[in-house]
């Protein structure tokens, strides 16, 4: 009897082992939502959830931690007894919240991108206006350098926005604004006279006086308009030939002293014809005249220039090419200078003005910008 009982017990143990083994093999798999949520958490972190949606992301992490707790508790059970229904439910809630946060982040990024690009558009419009004004100057100054740096930075802003580096993009826009302010300050000093109707009226009177003199006497006169970069020859008050010219490095300013690289303004005359100079044929004018000397002495008296500064001279209309920058002279292409040289005698009046157009291109550019 005892032997039979032992045998029966062994058989029962074997049968139970087989049943448990069979049941263990049929343990249900963990829900796919578990794996998806873990991947989603990484996506949210890479998307900058802690920055763009900090409160929502913190709540999401708490939900995920609770879901993990439920999952880990279920995993402690023997496979046959595991029930993943609640695990699936908890992780589904986590995934839904994660999707909401992803949409929120995308919305905030789109809004920030739009805001930054709108600010960039305003600055770029200002840049284009300043660039157009700067190109009107035949001068050596830092405005072109500032504008060139700003142009490069605009491209960097686009790159940073594409990389969602919005704080860096904002810092770049701030730097661009500073560069534009510096360029504008430089340009304003050079261009304000060309927007002053009183100054333009004065230049017009000089030009009209030269033309009237030519008309009254039949003499040849030369009129140079610096802003338009035009040299016009008048005979008997009638314009007979117009040439394009180049000016000094600081050409739109009125010359005050030696080394300022400005082209002088006023009424002059040709005092010498030079058949062969460093820049080909040349017409030397009588700068400085009495008015130039008066302005120079006044500037020195007021302390605008140092006591050791000289007034300078040797201002010419010469060849060498209209596209080059001079030290204050008026330059023509060699072929046209040859032609001008032949028809201009010593003593010819040369009147140099900034512009005679009250609606000149600088004002036109500013009007377009303000529309």
Q: Which pLDDT tens digit goes with each residue over 121-146?
A: 999 998 988 887 777 665 455 677 88
Fold of 207-359: L,D-transpeptidase catalytic domain-like (2.40.440)
Question: How far is residue 315's CA from residue 285's CA, in Å, rounded to a whole number?
Answer: 6
Q: Which of 40-49, 85-94, 244-253 has the lowest mean pLDDT?
A: 244-253
Radius of gyration of the chain (CA): 41
Q: With CA atoms as reference, report the closest residue to 53 among 113, 115, 102.
A: 102
Q: Which pLDDT tens digit goes with each residue over 255-310?
A: 889 988 889 999 999 999 998 888 889 999 999 999 999 999 999 888 888 888 99
Pick the more confident residue, 219 or 30. Answer: 219
Q: With CA atoms as reference, report the closest residue to 233 among 193, 283, 286.
A: 283
What was the pLDDT predicted at 22?
47
Question: How far is residue 283's CA from residue 272's CA, in Å, rounded to a whole number?
Answer: 6
What was the pLDDT predicted at 368?
58
| % of the chain at pLDDT higher than 90 | 58
What was the pLDDT predicted at 371?
53
The dihedral through the CA atoms of 7, 12, 15, 20 has a sign that is negative
Q: Is the pLDDT of residue 23 over 60?
A: no
Question: What is the pTM assigned to this prediction?
Answer: 0.64
Q: Is the pLDDT of residue 367 over 50?
A: yes
What was the pLDDT predicted at 312?
87
Using pLDDT thresholds of 50, 70 and 90, give the confidence band for residue 253.
confident
Q: Is the pLDDT of residue 327 over 60?
A: yes
What was the pLDDT predicted at 245?
93
Using pLDDT thresholds of 50, 70 and 90, give the confidence band for residue 18.
very low
Q: Which pLDDT tens digit goes with each residue over 140-199?
A: 556 778 899 999 999 999 999 999 999 999 999 999 999 999 888 887 777 788 888 899
14, exposed or middle or buried, with CB in 10 Å at 0-12, 13-18, 19+? Answer: exposed
Question: How far is residue 113's CA from residue 150's CA, in Å, rounded to a whole number?
Answer: 19
What was the pLDDT predicted at 188?
77
Q: Which pLDDT tens digit goes with each residue over 329-345?
A: 999 999 999 999 999 99
Using pLDDT thresholds of 50, 70 and 90, give the confidence band for residue 11.
very low
The two three-digit tokens of residue 125, written as one number? 């419009």
| % of the chain at pLDDT higher than 70 | 89
Please provide the average confidence, as pLDDT, over all residues in the chain.
87
Q: Residues 214-220: what's their mean pLDDT?
A: 95
Question: How far is residue 185's CA from residue 319's CA, in Å, rounded to a whole number?
Answer: 33
DSSP notation for 257-310: STTS-PPP-EEEEEEEEEEEETTEEEEEE--S-HHHHHHHHHHHHTTSS-TT--
Q: Residues 37-45: what's their mean pLDDT?
A: 92
């Amino acid at each position: 009897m005892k032997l039979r009982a032992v045998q029966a017990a062994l058989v029962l143990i074997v049968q139970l082992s087989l049943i448990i083994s069979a049941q263990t093999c049929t343990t249900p798999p963990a829900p796919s939502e578990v794996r998806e949520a873990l991947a989603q958490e990484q996506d949210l972190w890479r998307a900058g959830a802690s920055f763009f949606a900090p409160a929502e992301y913190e709540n999401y992490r708490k939900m995920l931690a609770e879901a993990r707790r439920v999952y880990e508790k279920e995993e402690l059970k023997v496979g046959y007894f595991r029930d993943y229904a609640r695990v699936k439910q908890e992780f589904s809630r986590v995934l839904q919240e994660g999707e909401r946060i992803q949409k929120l982040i995308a919305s905030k990024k789109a809004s920030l991108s739009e805001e930054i690009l709108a600010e960039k558009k305003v600055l770029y419009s200002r840049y284009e206006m300043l660039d157009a004004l700067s190109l009107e100057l035949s001068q050596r100054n830092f405005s072109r350098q500032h504008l060139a740096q700003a142009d490069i930075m605009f491209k960097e802003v686009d790159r940073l926005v594409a990389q969602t580096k919005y704080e860096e993009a904002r810092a770049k826009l701030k730097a661009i604004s500073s560069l534009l302010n510096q360029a504008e300050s430089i340009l304003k000093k050079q261009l304000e006279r060309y927007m002053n109707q009183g100054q333009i009226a004065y230049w017009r009177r000089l030009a009209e006086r030269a033309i009237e003199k030519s008309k009254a006497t039949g003499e040849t006169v030369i009129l140079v308009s610096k802003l338009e970069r035009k040299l016009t020859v008048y005979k008997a008050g009638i314009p007979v030939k117009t040439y394009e010219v180049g000016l000094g490095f600081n050409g739109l300013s009125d010359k005050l002293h030696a080394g300022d690289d400005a082209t002088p303004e006023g009424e002059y005359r040709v005092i010498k014809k030079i058949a062969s100079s460093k820049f080909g044929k040349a017409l030397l004018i009588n700068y400085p005249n009495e008015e130039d000397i008066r302005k120079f002495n006044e500037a020195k008296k007021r302390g605008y220039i140092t006591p050791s500064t000289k007034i300078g001279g040797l201002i010419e209309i010469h060849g060498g090419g209209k596209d080059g920058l001079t030290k204050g002279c008026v330059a023509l292409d060699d072929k046209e200078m040859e032609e001008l040289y032949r028809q201009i005698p010593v003593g010819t009046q040369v009147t140099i003005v900034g512009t005679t157009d009250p609606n000149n291109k600088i004002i036109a550019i500013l009007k377009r910008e303000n529309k």
